[in-house]
A and B are shown apart, each in its own frame.
Chain A
Amino acid sequence: MSQTVHEQPLTAAAPAAGENGTAGTGAPAVRLSKVTKVFGRADGAPVLDNIDLTVAPGEFVCLLGASGCGKSTLLNLVAGLDKPSAGTIEVNGGRPALMFQEHALFPWLKAGKNVELALKLRGVPREQRREEAQKLLALVRLDTAYEKRVHELSGGMRQRVALARALAQSGEVLLMDEPFAALDAITRDVLHDELTRIWADTGRSVVFVTHNVREAVRLAQRVVLMSSRPGRIAREWTIDIPQPRRIESPDVSALSIEITEQLRGEIRRHGKH
């Protein structure tokens, strides 16, 4: 197996896309320029400080960082749930979809109707919704779950329905905020395989947030490491290990160990005051 890892200097903020052959179409899927976020008083300490990040169309980027470094904040900004204190955010290809750590499915709707609601809000005519929802459920291999109530599904199934609902949105960009963090290891592995397949099938651009280094290396074309307080982009790695990868494979492990060292370094800095 071949493995090439390009490390990139801190300043290379609009990278990777070209060499992966994903760019070409011009406009990036997501572009953040000098994004800063301060909660509360304007002169308070920023949670995000001057973030520059570009995601190419079809690219799979993992945002990695310790808990509390501002990953969710960043994703909420991109999703439009919150406004940056400074800087600009550009998202192309329609309103981005966002998956949360908790499935956030609506318990008053059956699984299939949850997917249909996304289709409805996007303006898909009523006659087409059911068939479309069935297709999306089939894509996450839940063909039989249409009539199921949310509470009748296991954690992994709920996240797959949530993924189907996210894919029902027209947006080209899929944002995922630690969507598998609450699942057991085997289920998570399976969902990694599924996500990789679906990403390849649908060509979405994915920004996947996690604090799990192996998960990031398992999934991403590019791993972006964030520092904490203030949240900045500390470093990034482009990963050429072919997909589908195995989370236990030596390639993934080797790179994970390297990134983990960096992450630990980042965290250690905060203890030295």
Chain B
Amino acid sequence: MASTDLTKTAAADVPSSDDVAGLEAGLDALETYEKDRAPLWRTALGKIGPPILAIAFMLLVWQIAYWAEVKPRYALPSPADVWDAFMVQWQAGEVHQILWVSLERAFLGFLMAIAIGTPLGLLVARVRWVRAAIGPLLSGLQSLPSVAWVPPAVIWFGLNNSAIYAVVLLGAVPSIAQGIVSGVDQVPPLFIRAGRVLGATGLLGVWHVLLPASLPGYLAGLKQGWAFSWRSLMAAELIAASPDLGYGLGQLMNQGRDLGDMPMMLTAVFMILLVGIGIELLFFSPLEKLVLRQRGLLISK
């Protein structure tokens, strides 16, 4: 090979291999840096502090409104009344059951929505005529409040779990599919080309390049899909209340309304809120941050 006689003729003014290595090591060291991370307690405090302050402030406003009797006492109970109502149910062991019924439905519905929404989204993203056909429908469905599906679903499926799951799916699938579509759309063409050069074409390309590259968009879609699942479920439970159905948070709310029991209704509202926020904070938010941080897309201050 031509290359064999290359090094012999190296003159004195030509850098030796060691010089190059040293120079290179220096350049590498100059251009990389270790980021020191703040201690855990400080990050935790910085994250938990502000929301706690905000909640305290809202409770205070509520308490003042209660004292001022902005609304009659039966319509606006004090925070303490609601807390007592909650504790009574908690001690009776009902809260866990109610929560469990709703959470189980939500998770199951969400998993089904993932199973349907993911391949659907991939099809829409990658097959041109599928996109032309149902792309607009998908974004349209996203803006349709899922409550609108409750009456038809009840008529189609009857007052049972199928109707509830149908509503959850109609609410969550479009978001998840849309998430993967925008994730795929944002994949830089350079990655696809680099993958093809490496031999990742066809399904190998989807698996090794397209899916991981679109993960941030997909996660955003999942997050929104979860929010929609939960929201749709509550709408369905609230409207489709029947003794045959398991007793979930929505039904608790409905019962509160029937009994005119404001603390019970507010308990339901707060638990719905709590679950929504809890899943977001405990699951989606850390997952999203992890993915973005790995890719250097998150600027942590």
Cross-chain contact A193 with B15 (CB below 8 angstroms): yes
- Determine if A21 is an interface residue (Cβ-Cβ < 8 Å): yes
User: Given A79-B197, A197-B17, A242-B9, A203 and B3 touching (CB < 8 A)?
Assistant: yes
Which residues B1-53 have CB closer than 8 A to chain A?
A: 1-11, 13-15, 17, 20-21, 23-25, 27-28, 31-32
B6 and chain A: residue at smallest CB distance:
A243
Asked if A157 lies at the interface with its beta carbon under 8 angstroms from chain B, I say: yes
Bound CA span A150–B297, Å: 11
Stretch at the interface among B136-144, B206-214, B245-253: B206-214
Residue A212 lies at the interface, judged by CB distance under 8 Å to chain B:
no
Q: Chain A 177-218 against B: per-residue CB contact (8 Å), 1 yes, 0 no?
A: 000000000110010011011011101000000000000000
Please state if A100 and B1 are interface contacts (CB–CB under 8 Å): no
User: Is the beta-carbon distance between A121 and B27 smaller than 8 angstroms?
Assistant: no
Known pairs A106-B212, A200-B3; A122 contacts B296 (CB<8 A): no
Shortest beta-carbon distance from B135 to chain A in Å = 26
Would you call B20 and A193 a contact (CB within 8 A)? yes
Closest chain B residue, CB of each to CB of A21: B2
Mask of B195-209 contacts with A, CB within 8 angstroms, 1/0: 011111000100011
> Could you tell me if B7 and A243 are in contact, using CB atoms closer than 8 angstroms?
yes
User: Which residues of the partner chain B approach A107 to less than 8 Å between Cβ atoms?
Assistant: 294-297
* Chain B CB within 8 A of A77 CB: no
Contact assessment for B20 and A190 in the assembled complex, using a CB-CB cutoff below 8 Å: yes
- Asked if B2 and A246 make an inter-chain contact with CB atoms under 8 angstroms apart, the answer reads no
Residues of A contacting B6 in the complex (Cβ-Cβ under 8 angstroms): 196, 200, 242-244
Q: Mark A236-265, 1 if CB is under 8 A from B, else 0.
A: 000000111110010000000000000000
**CB distance A242 to B10 under 8 Å?**
yes
The yes or no answer to A95 lying at the interface (CB within 8 A) is yes
Give Cα A20 to B295, complex, Å. 45
Q: Identify the A interface with B (CB < 8 A).
A: 1, 20-22, 57-60, 79-81, 95-98, 100, 102, 104, 106-109, 117-118, 121-122, 141-142, 149-157, 165, 169, 186-187, 190, 193-194, 196-197, 199-201, 203, 221, 242-246, 249
**Subset of 26 A-B contacts with CB under 8 Å:** A21-B2, A22-B2, A57-B1, A58-B2, A81-B196, A96-B197, A106-B213, A107-B294, A107-B297, A108-B215, A117-B208, A121-B199, A121-B200, A121-B208, A149-B294, A150-B296, A153-B32, A154-B27, A154-B32, A156-B31, A157-B32, A197-B20, A200-B3, A203-B3, A242-B5, A242-B8
